[in-house]
Amino acid sequence: MSDYAKFVDSHLTSIRCYEKEKRVELAFVLSSGADCLMAVDGLDRMLIHEMREQNIVEKVDVYDFTCSEDDMGWAVEMLTTPGEKVDPIPFEPVIRSVMNSIAKGEQVLLAITPVYGAMVLALAAQVS
């Protein structure tokens, strides 16, 4: 798992989607005031929850094959089930498929946790 410490207390200002390219670009204003762009390529699934005018980031993590299922389980479950209060058992085959894809190094999982505003989860080939 990579920890993107420079994103702590940054503001997520926009999300731009490119459907044909399966690409998403997330724009941030870092706490230093600098602009920063994050690219998510080979997008498979994405969840954006509570996008607002002000979106303050608590942390950004990218879960990959080096991470344990315990670390990323909450994010995979949230991304693959249709709601927060849903029994995950019927979705276990989908959850297991995503976990296996990450464990094999085929995909990574981006998790942006907010202090306020948008939570973003994205399953993709690469985050840069």
Q: What is the pLDDT along the chain (128 residues), one digit of tens a residue?
A: 455 899 999 999 999 999 999 999 999 999 999 999 999 999 999 999 999 999 999 999 999 999 999 999 999 999 998 877 778 888 999 999 999 999 999 999 999 999 999 999 999 999 99
**Which backbone phi and psi does 94 adopt, to 5 degrees?**
-70, -45
pTM of the complete model beyond 0.85: yes
Distance CA 107, CA 86 (A): 25
Distance CA 19, CA 119 (A): 21
Structure-block tokens of residue 96? 């297991």
